Amino acid sequence: MSEQRNRSLLPSFALIFTFFLAVIFISNVDQHQLNIASAYPPPQTTRRPRSYNHIINLPMLMKFPVYFTNSYYMQTTNIPMHQTKGSSLGTILNTGGIPRNIVIILDYGDPVIKNGSYGTDLLLNNVFASTASIKSAVINFATSFYNSLGTNQSHLNILVATNNSRTKDGINFVNYNHGVAWAQMINEASDYLWAHRGSDGNPFATKVIVSGASDMEAAYNDTYSTTAWVNGYVSSQYYPLYNIGNAPCPWVPPFSGNVSCEHGWDQNIVWYVSKGAGTNIFAIPEIYNTLGVNAWQWFYVSQYGYIYKNGRKIDFSGSLTEYGACLQRGNCNGIDNKPTHGWWQLWSALHTNNALETNGYLWLTDISYYP
């Protein structure tokens, strides 16, 4: 009995020690450093067969990040504005000197099909943006970033995002065909970056890649529409898909099996759109709640996959907060996590179970509105 009691205390001591390190880490982070995030090593960028053009290899040892990136709810597809943003980020990294592996999210809003063209309604202003205009804007962001890096060997993964929401008029364009169109846009943008060369003579994709993403939330739409969109993307994808949404599911055990979540969703659906639909799907989930609730919700969804889906836990690539957006628009009581806090909540939750802990680095990024 005494031996068993001592063993049960070991995880607690480990967590206390880890928490102590995290407090030191967070206290030394400059909360105004919203420009870049670090990781090592950089992702593998060797050209792959088309079904696996880019696979990110995460390092085996955990490293605390020092900075975090700014991600954006984009209100425009204006080319010069994208060029300016990309160039600014590249210049910051070039000036800093240290090679970094970073991620940013460019979220273009609600799925829409207009006059036969696939695209989105940009958030807030509801202006239609076709996939062609989004692709062009992203390419210009990427190439401007690359050409401003100079000799710096940083790597950038741009997640080009939509969501699973109906339009403001209540029309549902979240379907299989829109998922296909989004994947095709990502394929074309990424292939452009492989086929064209930067100012140093190397392909743009040696330092910057493009992946798909969707802010998938239970409150936005039903499970049928959301899974159909994901299946459409997966059917045509050459590049990864990231779920950057939420998991409004139970977070206080005990429970077992497939537990019901909010709005008719369940853990199995959240797991499916974050992992189960394909082999090249990852998650950078919303960790907005300041008390850590969101981190534990995702922990138990990943645990569901591990237990009931043959060990297929969710592959978490980072955490997403909305501290910047909250500063801009307010009304964020209790969901205005700072980036480092959200990151720590997710990492510490996952590392309470050896089977679910991450095998590598977690990015951290914080989203706001631009312009």
| pLDDT (0 to 100) of residue 66 | 57
Neighbours of 94 (CB within 10 A): 14
| pLDDT (0 to 100) of residue 18 | 43
> Kind of pairing, strands 281-283 and 241-243?
parallel
HSE, CB side, 13 Å, CA atoms: give it for residue 110: 20
HSE, CB side, 13 Å, CA atoms: give it for residue 49: 1
Q: Rounded to a whole number, what is the distance in angstroms from the first to the last CA of the chain?
A: 62
Rounded to whole angstroms, how far apart are CA atoms 248 and 219? 9
Using one digit for the tens of pLDDT, what is the confidence trace for 123-141? Answer: 999 999 999 999 999 999 9
| pLDDT (0 to 100) of residue 99 | 84
| pLDDT (0 to 100) of residue 69 | 95
> For the chain, which ranges sit under pLDDT 50?
1-63
> Kind of pairing, strands 363-370 and 69-74?
parallel
- Mind listing the domains of the chain with CATH numbers? 47-370 (3.20.20)
| pLDDT (0 to 100) of residue 358 | 83
| Contact by Cβ (8 Å): 124, 67 | no
| Contact by Cβ (8 Å): 149, 93 | yes
Non-local CB neighbours of 187 within 8 Å, separated by 6+ positions: 236, 237, 238, 239
Q: What is the pTM of this model?
A: 0.86
Using one digit for the tens of pLDDT, what is the confidence trace for 305-349? Answer: 999 999 999 999 999 999 999 999 999 999 999 999 999 999 999
| pLDDT (0 to 100) of residue 98 | 84
Rounded to whole angstroms, how far apart are CA atoms 59 and 51? 23
What is the distance of C-alpha 70 from the center of its chain? 12
| pLDDT (0 to 100) of residue 64 | 55
What is the distance of C-alpha 289 from the center of its chain? 17
Taking the alpha carbons of 196, 181, 364, 84 in that order, is the dihedral positive or negative?
A: positive
| pLDDT (0 to 100) of residue 62 | 40
